[in-house]
Structure 1
Amino acid sequence: MRLLWELSRLGSMHDVAAELRTTTSSVSQGIAALAREVGTPLVEPDGRRVRLTPAGHRLAAHAVTILAAVDTARADLDSRAEPAGVVRVSGFATAIRRSLLPAMDELARLHPGVEVRVHEYEPLEAFDLLARDDIDLALTYDYNLASAPWAPEHEVTPLWEIEWGLGVPSRDRGREFADYADHDWIVNSRHTADEEVVRTLASLAGFVPRVVHRIDSLELLEDLIVAGRGVGLLPRRRPSRRDVRVLALAEPTPTLRACAVLRRGRSQWPPVRALMDLLVAG
């Protein structure tokens, strides 16, 4: 396509060869190969020279746009280029607040050509989106007691950890996990890891939890705890309502592990790399 465009501009294969530092034979062979690919002659004899056919002129006009698009794509994919483009990020609410929003502010200052689009999803939902290329980066989590089902194509970068405890009404006098064996339990509605941790801890304490409610929002979970509708896991260092107490749990203490997940081979795209650098630094 570049050969055809140069021929339309310079008028002779000899001049094209000189411009591109190749041979006239290579130019002729390249244009002949393009003609076979499109299925129509692109040049015709004009004395001792050649000229473009009508089809050649039309394709040469398209070549301008096509070559510009190729140059743009190469610049976009160049690992040395200034980051620019749209990065689609899926994340759970805590990671969006704690990691992504501060990184977005810094990214806008350092690389204004990068736009981040945020989608709130739980890890299992995010894995599906990542597999379909509907997102570029997933902020997910698992627990030390419920490891995530990483796939071979996942590239996982740890971000931070936070210890979890048992959220109970402040008025309750219970001190240990087993003290709530006869209570109703609240687990996550959109991810299985939370329930897996609850059932593991309950098994170690010698009971089977009666899971009654499945809630995604931590704020709503606290409302149910205050209303006496059940107990459930909550982060220890997260500010909670004054009428909710978060018990520290004995070993094995459940610990949430936040991660950034990419598909392998995608981390060198400049916009993603720039965002990842900020997430890890944060």
Structure 2
Amino acid sequence: MTAEDTQRLPDLGRLRLLVKLQRLGTMAAVAESTGYGTSAVSKHLSVLEQEIGVRLLRPVGRRVRLTPAGERLVEHAVAILASVEEARAELTGGAEPAGRVRLASFSTAVEPVVLPALSRLRERYPRVEAEVQEHEPEQSVHLLRSGGIDLAVVYDYSLVPRAVPRELSARQFREEPLYLAVPAGHPGAGRPVELAGLPDLAATGWIANSRGTDDDELVRRVCAIAGFMPRIAHRVDSAHLVNSLVGAGLGVALLAESGIGRSRTDVVFRPLEPLAGTRRGFLLTRAGQWSWPPIAAMVDCLTSGSRLPRPDGPGSPAAPR
């Protein structure tokens, strides 16, 4: 590498400022988080544009937004900075992780998965702060791609695998069996469900999720295997409300193990045979960010005691498309 080539390499500090701008949204927020003045941040990013040789920012009113080239550079910068941090940690033994992780999770994973992980985080990594938001997987994917969050707990069904956008990376860490929730007085309520017996529920209303399409599709595919088209009668967000609707005799539902109301006496949860598949839990982040110390700390706490021995495995979501 010649001296001229070295001079053309972008400065890592300026790359960090660009990544922060993409995450935080404004020059003022970047300045506040770094201790620089706003004018200094602007100057550094202007120099970065000169180093790269393309426009990275465009004015929008009194603010700036990243151009497509700027967004693309952020993707590369995240991977570059993560590699640098990983190499530094490997060579020096690393320091205690510190920083903030913005974590999104779907509702039924918050209590059984996220809350215990936050307790472990407080004990193991006291300098890492977690900000938790509740979102369905589709919204979490959107927020990851736009820089609104750093890490997401999402799910899919083995019968309805989720495609992962190319700029994101997934790790599976949980797998749960599925149950058919029926009213306590329903015929056959005390027996496991065989798909051959599902057509008896063809005239029954089914309950699905109002904020995502995966639950509808799961119900349709399970019922299609059994040979009939289901009628979706209700769509609600809360697993508690799903249980209540079933208990009131207003429908039946497919629920993962973490969504069943164990203390209820008005609902019976019948195990489904393996052909119905499972619900799988995944962690999602932007490609190249797994080794960022705060995310690595959060992942460690989320995967401790999970149902799978490894976070990676053959049952991963569908390939990017």
Give the counterpart of 1:231 among 243, 252, 261. 252
Aligned partner of 1:219 in structure 2 is 240
Q: CA RMSD in A?
A: 2.4
* One-letter amino acid of the counterpart of residue 241, structure 1: R
> 2:108, 2:239 within 8 Å by CA — same for their partners in 1?
no
> 1:167, 1:232 within 8 Å by CA — same for their partners in 2?
yes
Aligned partner of 2:161 in structure 1 is 147
CA shift for structure 1 position 66: 5.1
Q: TM-score when scaled to structure 2?
A: 0.62
State which drifts further: 232-241 or 120-129.
232-241
5 Å-filtered alignment, 1:25-64, equals none
Query: Do structure 1's residue 208 and structure 2's residue 229 form an aligned pair?
Result: yes
- 2:276 aligns to what SS in structure 1? coil
CA shift for structure 1 position 221: 0.6
Query: Do structure 1's residue 241 and structure 2's residue 300 form an aligned pair?
Result: no
Aligned partner of 1:21 in structure 2 is none
Aligned mates of 1:230, 1:114 — CA distance in 2: 44
Aligned mates of 2:155, 2:178 — CA distance in 1: 13
Aligned mates of 1:268, 1:251 — CA distance in 2: 36
Aligned mates of 1:84, 1:150 — CA distance in 2: 28
Query: Do structure 1's residue 101 and structure 2's residue 115 form an aligned pair?
Result: yes
Aligned partner of 2:298 in structure 1 is 275
CA displacement 1:239-266 (0-9 Å, x = unmatched): 2511101122234133110011111011
5 Å-filtered alignment, 1:103-142, equals 103-142=117-156
* One-letter amino acid of the counterpart of residue 160, structure 1: R
CA displacement 1:14-46 (0-9 Å, x = unmatched): xxxxxxxxxxxxxxxxxxxxxxxxxxxxxxxxx
* Structure 1: 4+ residue segments shifted above 6 A: none
* One-letter amino acid of the counterpart of residue 123, structure 1: P
> 2:182, 2:267 within 8 Å by CA — same for their partners in 1?
yes
Gaps (5+ residues) in structure 2? 1-34, 45-80, 306-321
Q: TM-score when scaled to structure 1?
A: 0.70
CA shift for structure 1 position 142: 0.3
Aligned partner of 1:32 in structure 2 is none
Gaps (5+ residues) in structure 1? 1-64
> 1:81, 1:270 within 8 Å by CA — same for their partners in 2?
no
- 1:117 aligns to what SS in structure 2? strand
Aligned mates of 2:175, 2:276 — CA distance in 1: 12
Aligned mates of 2:36, 2:252 — CA distance in 1: 61
Query: Do structure 1's residue 180 and structure 2's residue 196 form an aligned pair?
Result: no
> 1:177, 1:202 within 8 Å by CA — same for their partners in 2?
yes
* One-letter amino acid of the counterpart of residue 208, structure 2: V
> 1:161, 1:257 within 8 Å by CA — same for their partners in 2?
yes
> 1:83, 1:113 within 8 Å by CA — same for their partners in 2?
yes
Aligned mates of 1:205, 1:146 — CA distance in 2: 16
